[in-house]
Amino acid sequence: MKTTALKVSALLLTLGLASGCATTGLDEVRATAEAAAADAAAAASAAEAARAAADRAAQAASSAQSTADRALSAASGAQACCDANKEAMERMFQKSMSK
């Protein structure tokens, strides 16, 4: 009887220790998974912030291109006016020299 009780006690002790170790391992796995999920959420948040910054940069670049296009148009108009004035002055000079 004592031998059976001793064997049962030893078996229960072994099972208790084994299940305690398994629980600890499971807790470590769970903690690792939760840490990975938190890291993934942080990465997703950083990616979203980067996308928003890229969108703002693209919008600023588009606005800058529009401004540059307007400046080119104004410069082209000014050059055309300058060319017209030059031609008129040359015609006046030629006319005055021919008299």
User: pLDDT per residue over 29-70, tens digit each?
Assistant: 889 999 999 999 999 999 999 999 999 999 999 999 999 999
Per-residue pLDDT, 10: 56
Q: How far apart are CA 83 and CA 89, in angstroms?
A: 10
pTM score, two decimals? 0.54
Number of H helices, E strands in the chain: 1, 0
